[in-house]
Amino acid sequence: MSGWKWLTQPQHPYTWGFVVRVLLKAALLFALVNVLYAALSPLDAIGRLSVYNWLVAGRVRLPYGEDPARAYNLSVDNIPTMFATHVISQPKADDEFRVILLGDSSTWGFLLPPDQTLSAFLNAQGLQLDDGRRLVFYNLGHPIMALMKDALLLEYAMQYQPDMVVWLVTAQSFPRSRQLEAPMVARNPARAAAFIRRYGLAYDTATLEAETDFMAQTIIGQRRPLADWLRLQLYGFMWDATGIDQYLPERYTLRQSDFEAGDVAWGEDFPQPQTLTVDDLAFDVLAAGHQVAGDVPLLLVNEPMFISAGENSDIRYNFFYPRWAYDQYRDLMTAQAEENGWHYVDLWRIIAPEAFTDSPVHMTPQGTEQLVQALAPHIMALLQGDSE
């Protein structure tokens, strides 16, 4: 076959010396490339290279997916990679008032198609400022419950010139133990450690720094994020072709309504009822988020949740929360907002129980629309108040 002449008909006959030289050179080159890679740490720069917003349409929510083959989407943790795929990395229009939404899977829109998420319904409202600028909402929710993860996303998102931040939170994102365990935080150790140091947060960065050893910085150590980056680019073609970024099953298990008698634990951190203090919850991360936002108005929203009327619902609101814990969280949150002058709105029980799907915070499209009706006036009030 003519196509293999380069291999079968060499200019000089192959010798063992040639074979050994090729293997040695290949090994040396491989080692050199790895050392160079570790020295340059180009993962963030590579992450910024993207087919999205160029060859294919940008994603309307951050990449996340547990079933890539059906969702045409996958979970990646490299923050530049995530943002490079998102429509927010497109230039801001002159008449655009850019609003970013931070939050968990509820904001991201778990079990909702891209056109029925909170940001999509808010955009459909066609909100405008008095000066004619259009409010354009960007979904920067991500299905992990940890405020630190939101804060890291917010810090990165500031380069895209947001004019407002709406940060939807729930108590499950607050326990201090969750903050460093969130995958996105653990897999961006240098960025997280720097954030913690920059804002003087009381978290032990030793575990994060242990992740930054030399091998972890080589191509070998970073083969997973590199492969994920490549796969995410390739899935971009399917996203563009189908508009699908999440596999939506026909059936799912409905959120739990009935609970065991005596089930009063709030996760593993709080197995028994106790008095919660400010130090038990990550209010310091919320404060850091406000520092990150600076002059950009930030609205904190206690997001709606499912309130059960089932068995033993007198001790638990839902699968996530025993009543003792959630009630204290709300009190603390209200007090902290007042003390720090944060803009805060508590929408915890505005949505009917039947508008929740598989978890206490995932809403149906109808539930999400209801939330938009409730939230939009608060956003406008804050902006009009600001402009006054």
* Interaction of residue 231 with other proteins, rule CB under 8 A: yes
CB of 59 to other proteins, least distance (A): 15
Chain positions 60 to 79 lying near other proteins, rule: CB under 8 A, are 68-70, 72
* Interaction of residue 11 with other proteins, rule CB under 8 A: no
Residue from 3, 91, 126, 262 touching other proteins (CB under 8 A): that is 3
CA distance 354 to 308: 10
CB of 230 to other proteins, least distance (A): 7
* Total number of residues that touch other proteins (CB under 8 A): 27
> Which part of the chain contacts other proteins (CB under 8 A), choosing from 14-22, 276-284, 309-317, 339-347?
14-22
Chain positions 232 to 251 lying near other proteins, rule: CB under 8 A, are 234-235, 237-238, 240-242, 244
Residue from 11, 16, 268, 388 touching other proteins (CB under 8 A): that is 16
Return the exposure string of 181-191: e unless at least 16 CB atoms fall within 10 Å of the residue's CB, then b: ebebbebbbeb
CB of 225 to other proteins, least distance (A): 16
CB closer to other proteins, 242 vs 277: 242
> Which part of the chain contacts other proteins (CB under 8 A), choosing from 9-17, 29-37, 132-140, 306-314?
9-17
Residue from 29, 49, 230, 381 touching other proteins (CB under 8 A): that is 230
CA distance 30 to 15: 23
CB closer to other proteins, 28 vs 55: 55
Binding mask 341-360 for other proteins (x = CB under 8 A): --------------------
CB of 72 to other proteins, least distance (A): 8
CB of 16 to other proteins, least distance (A): 5
Q: Which amino acid is it at 133?
A: R
CA distance 156 to 152: 6
Give the number of other Cβ atoms within 10 Å of residue 262's Cβ.
8
Residue from 1, 202, 261, 309 touching other proteins (CB under 8 A): that is 1
CB closer to other proteins, 234 vs 254: 234
CB closer to other proteins, 54 vs 214: 54
CA distance 135 to 113: 21
CB closer to other proteins, 57 vs 190: 57
Cα distances (angstroms) measured from residue 33 to each of 218, 219, 336, 374: 9, 8, 50, 54
Q: Which amino acid is it at 285?
A: V
CB closer to other proteins, 57 vs 129: 57
Q: In this structure, are strands 298-302 and 164-169 parallel, antiparallel, or unpaired?
A: parallel
* Interaction of residue 13 with other proteins, rule CB under 8 A: yes
> Which part of the chain contacts other proteins (CB under 8 A), choosing from 12-20, 95-103, 139-147, 367-375?
12-20
Cα distances (angstroms) measured from residue 62 to each of 52, 74, 119, 180, 227: 12, 10, 12, 20, 18
What is residue 246's DSSP assignment?
A: S
Classify residue 227 as exposed, middle or buried by CB count within 10 Å of its CB (0-12, 13-18, 19+): exposed
CB of 237 to other proteins, least distance (A): 4
> Which part of the chain contacts other proteins (CB under 8 A), choosing from 2-10, 169-177, 211-219, 310-318?
2-10
CB closer to other proteins, 214 vs 237: 237
CA distance 147 to 172: 9
The sheet that has 298-302: what strands, in order across it? 134-139, 96-102, 164-169, 298-302, 343-346
Give the number of other Cβ atoms within 10 Å of residue 254's Cβ.
12
CB of 130 to other proteins, least distance (A): 40
Decide if 73 contacts 63 (C-beta within 8 A): yes
Alpha helices in the chain (DSSP H): 5-8, 16-40, 43-48, 68-71, 79-84, 105-108, 118-124, 147-157, 176-181, 183-186, 189-198, 206-210, 214-217, 223-242, 283-293, 323-340, 365-387
CB closer to other proteins, 210 vs 227: 227
CA distance 156 to 86: 13
Phi/psi of residue 20, nearest 5 degrees? -65, -40
Binding site for other proteins (CB under 8 A): 1-4, 7-8, 10, 13-16, 18-19, 68-70, 72, 230-231, 234-235, 237-238, 240-242, 244
